[in-house]
Copies of this chain bind each other. A is one copy, B any other.
């Protein structure tokens, strides 16, 4: 395979070590050529505009500082629709997968897959225009089936505020004061959330909040 017929790839990831290693892996497959690296979305924008060759596929990390994967995919899908985007993430959360696909990604890969899967995914994205692993396909189906959705996990604004306050050292009484509500109303929120989210106590609520990004440490 000559250099001309190789598929051109760009890697966007803030972890230099990973990006560099990934390049070696792609080279070892023999049919790919890495044009350049970028350490975040805006770095990618600049380098893409200056590049003399355009990539066929962008391997895009989601968790990045400055301009994350969602923003980058969104921008690229309006700027150059012919460049395919393969999202790379450690997160197998359904919400994240769907959000990334809605931002225009052509495929979604978990970082804990076998290296051979990456080759398979890249070739599929190039030839078929999309790639979906079993997990992603399952998430897609779930989202299309409204019956299987979990409406009990939809939260109202006051519930979100309460949950994030419950992740602090405040007592329920103090939370009530802060929200200008009666402690008894807070008691009602608590009881309602415990049964809807199937948790047993306040620690369960904190864990739920952290899992679903309703509260962030530090």
- Min CB gap A190→B, angstroms: 13
Q: Which residues of B contact A25 (CB under 8 A)?
A: 17, 20-21, 24
Scan residues 75-134 of chain A and give those whose CB is less than 8 A from a CB of chain B. Answer: 88, 90, 109-115, 117-118
Q: Which residues of B contact A110 (CB under 8 A)?
A: 17
A202 to B115, CA, bound (A): 43
Query: Which stretch from A2-10, A49-57, A140-148, A162-170 is at the chain B interface?
Result: A162-170
The verdict on A27 contacting chain B, using a C-beta distance below 8 Å, is yes
Q: In the complex, are the beta carbons of A217 and B206 less than 8 A apart?
A: no
Q: Which of B20, B114, B169 contacts A201 (CB 8 A)?
A: B169
A88 to B16, CA, bound (A): 13
Scan residues 192-216 of chain A and give those whose CB is less than 8 A from a CB of chain B. Answer: 199-204, 206-207, 210-211
Known contacts A24-B25, A27-B24, A211-B217; is A14 also within 8 Å of B112 by CB?
yes
The verdict on A218 contacting chain B, using a C-beta distance below 8 Å, is yes
Q: Which of B115, B169, B204 contacts A16 (CB 8 A)?
A: B115
The verdict on A15 contacting chain B, using a C-beta distance below 8 Å, is yes
The verdict on A35 contacting chain B, using a C-beta distance below 8 Å, is no
The verdict on A67 contacting chain B, using a C-beta distance below 8 Å, is no
Q: Which of B111, B117, B202, B204 contacts A15 (CB 8 A)?
A: B111
- Min CB gap A108→B, angstroms: 13
Q: In the complex, are the beta carbons of B167 and A203 less than 8 A apart?
A: yes
Q: In the complex, are the beta carbons of A114 and B24 less than 8 A apart?
A: no
Q: Which residues of B contact A218 (CB under 8 A)?
A: 211
Known contacts A167-B203, A169-B201, A203-B168; is A21 also within 8 Å of B115 by CB?
yes
Q: In the complex, are the beta carbons of A15 and B90 less than 8 A apart?
A: yes
Q: Which residues of B contact A20 (CB under 8 A)?
A: 25, 114-115
A110 to B17, CA, bound (A): 8
A21 to B28, CA, bound (A): 10
